[in-house]
């Protein structure tokens, strides 16, 4: 009887209070754990029942089921896997429109400097290949399934409830290192149509893409050199995540529209780039499709490559090189996070330098980096991954990368000013502070540059601290600093 009265009491609460109760049961989805060392297609799965309180609540009553259902489907995943089902040609009209104006689509995106266009040097061919046709069919089938799910009256969800979307793909799109040919372009066009149609239906605050290198590049609207991919099995799956949150008032916004002095858009030029060069993502990429404020990249592990002859000459199949060219003056992106295990210093140094320091007119204010395994990580105990690698080389690359990213003498002072406003990095966080040698390297460089440590793994520039002091007492400042942490 007491139990029945309790249930009656809960059921009598107004929906607003019930929704407030449910807010305490909402956990971040597993896909938000972008710093995982091992990336696989199980990223969105949770085996712990304690992580599924909403699924338990949905069984209580019809009322709770109605309130929980929109929350249950707030974080969706879309797996781009081949199926035998037939679907209406959703993408065909958009693909036809893009194909009819191919050169304009490829070369005349406003704001593209000539030296970072997509690296295609072929003449357009209208005939699609079997590979491109298969990729297009996969996109259509999975998109149709997603739309059908959202429109179904049985699951209590709809497109307005979707807060985040995780797209997962498997298998490489292209295994030939120099295969910048027509099938890849047709795949890019289909991907362009896919993202535009999807974002007409959904407006998620976060999008995560987990895929093998060449397919991840295609989903980002760029190209990938796979010539040395065989040496990097630990990079077989990579992740890119973008999301948007309100910009803290302490983080200056220096966005402006590009001017003629920034970009030369008068005479598009088709360049011939070297095979190991990467073009910036096409303007139709999902990186540009919404005003994202945060970007996270996880490239996996480079460890196996250290066992190869002259590893430092190998070209990692990493997405960072292309993403590093994506930043533009008018973007809202102010925070970038990067994760990998033992990446080559020359692989990450240039892109991260381009994003945050000299030569790039971006709005990025915060950089977070984690590139070493944790002390309790077992990766170095696995003979299959270590192989013949000299672990000293691995740690040398890590220290070299941190030294470059934090030492003004190596990196150079920020050199971009506009109308008196300085666009420069103001927050630097790193996830390897538990390793004493790395911590000493970073501390020495940052102190030399006049930065101050505000937490055990985050440093702020004197310019930012001075600005924060204008916003109130120490308690408020501490709260604002904590709100800007991204891990």
Q: Is the pLDDT of residue 453 over 70?
A: yes
The stretch 464-470 carries a mean pLDDT of 78
CA distances from 293 to 327, 333, 343, 426 (A): 12, 4, 25, 15
pTM of the model: 0.82
Residue 452 pLDDT more than 80? yes
* Alpha-carbon gap, residue 487 to 33, rounded angstroms: 9
> Which of the two residues, 482 and 430, has the higher pLDDT score?
430
Q: Bigger pLDDT: 419 or 397?
A: 397
Can you give the pLDDT at residue 356?
75
What local confidence, expressed as pLDDT, does residue 124 receive?
Answer: 53
Name the most confidently modeled range: 90-104, 192-206, 465-479.
192-206
Q: Can you give the pLDDT at residue 52?
A: 66
Residue 48's pLDDT band, with cuts at 50, 70 and 90, is low
Higher pLDDT, residue 71 or 48: 71
Position 464 pLDDT exceeds 80: yes
- pLDDT at position 343, please? 94
What is the pLDDT averaged over residues 437-442? 90
Confidence of residue 74 (pLDDT cuts 50, 70, 90): confident
pLDDT of 368: 93
At 339-381, the pLDDT tens digits run 999 999 888 888 887 777 654 557 788 899 999 988 888 888 8
Most confident listed range (34-48, 342-356, 390-404, 460-474): 390-404
10-19, 252-261, 345-354, 385-394, range with the lowest pLDDT: 252-261
What is the torsional sign of CA 369, 374, 377, 380?
positive
128 or 452: whose pLDDT is higher?
452
Reply yes or no on whether the pLDDT at 239 is more than 90.
yes
pLDDT reading at 321 higher than 80:
yes
Q: How confident is the model at residue 82 (pLDDT cuts 50, 70, 90)?
A: confident
Percentage of the chain modeled with pLDDT above 90: 19
For residue 122, pLDDT beyond 50: no
pLDDT at 2 over 50: no
pLDDT higher for 336 or 101? Answer: 336
pLDDT bucket at 175, cuts 50 / 70 / 90: low
Residue 276 has pLDDT above 50, yes or no: no
Q: What is the pLDDT of residue 180?
A: 45
| pLDDT (mean) for 313-331 | 81
Rounded to the nearest integer, the mean pLDDT of the chain is: 75
Q: Any idea which of 57-66, 196-205, 275-284, 382-391 has the lowest mean pLDDT?
A: 275-284
- Which pLDDT score is estimated for 115? 37
pLDDT of residue 250: 65
Reply yes or no on whether the pLDDT at 399 is more than 70.
yes
Please report which confidence band the pLDDT of residue 226 belongs to, taking 50, 70 and 90 as the band edges.
confident
């Amino acid at each position: 009887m007491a139990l029945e009265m309790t249930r009656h009491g809960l059921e009598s609460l107004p929906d607003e209070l019930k929704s407030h109760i449910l807010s305490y049961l909402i956990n971040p989805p597993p896909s938000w754990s972008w710093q995982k060392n091992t990336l696989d297609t199980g990223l969105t799965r949770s085996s712990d029942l304690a992580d599924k309180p909403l699924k338990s609540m949905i069984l209580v009553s019809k009322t709770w089921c109605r309130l929980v259902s929109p929350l249950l489907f707030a974080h969706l995943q879309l797996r781009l896997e081949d199926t035998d089902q037939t679907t209406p040609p959703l993408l065909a009209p958009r693909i036809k429109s893009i194909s009819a104006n191919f050169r304009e689509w490829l070369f005349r995106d406003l704001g593209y400097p000539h030296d970072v266009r997509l690296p295609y040097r072929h003449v357009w061919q209208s005939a699609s290949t079997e590979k491109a046709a298969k990729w297009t069919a996969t996109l259509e089938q999975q998109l149709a399934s997603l739309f059908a799910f959202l429109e179904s009256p049985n699951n209590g969800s709809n497109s307005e409830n979707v807060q985040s979307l995780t797209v997962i793909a498997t298998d490489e799109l292209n295994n030939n290192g120099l295969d910048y040919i027509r099938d890849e372009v047709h795949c890019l066009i289909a991907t362009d149509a896919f993202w535009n149609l999807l974002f007409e239906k959904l407006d998620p605050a976060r999008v995560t893409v987990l895929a093998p290198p060449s397919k991840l590049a295609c989903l980002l609207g760029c190209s990938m050199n796979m010539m040395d991919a065989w040496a990097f099995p630990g990079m077989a799956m990579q992740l890119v995540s973008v999301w948007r949150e309100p910009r803290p008032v302490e983080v200056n916004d220096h966005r402006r529209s590009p001017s003629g002095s920034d970009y030369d858009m008068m005479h598009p030029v088709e360049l011939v780039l070297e095979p190991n060069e990467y073009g910036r993502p096409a303007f139709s990429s999902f990186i540009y499709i919404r005003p994202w404020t945060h970007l996270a990249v996880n490239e996996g592990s480079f460890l196996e490559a250290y066992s190869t002859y002259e590893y430092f000459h190998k070209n990692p199949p990493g997405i960072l090189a292309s993403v590093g060219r994506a930043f533009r003056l008018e973007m809202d992106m102010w925070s970038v996070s990067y994760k990998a295990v033992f990446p080559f210093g020359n692989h990450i140094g240039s892109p991260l330098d381009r994003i945050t320091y000299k030569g790039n007119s971006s709005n990025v204010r915060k950089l977070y980096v984690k590139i070493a395994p944790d002390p309790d990580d077992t990766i170095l105990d696995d003979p299959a991954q270590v192989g013949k690698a000299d672990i000293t080389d691995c740690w040398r690359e890590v220290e070299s990368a941190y030294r470059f990213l934090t030492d003004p003498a190596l990196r150079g002072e920020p050199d971009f000013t506009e109308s008196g406003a300085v666009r420069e990095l103001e927050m630097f966080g790193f996830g390897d502070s538990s390793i004493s040698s790395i911590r000493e390297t970073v501390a020495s460089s940052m102190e030399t540059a006049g930065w101050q440590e505000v937490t055990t793994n985050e440093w702020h520039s004197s310019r930012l601290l001075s600005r924060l002091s204008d916003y109130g007492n120490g308690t408020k400042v501490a709260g604002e600093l904590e709100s800007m942490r991204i891990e």
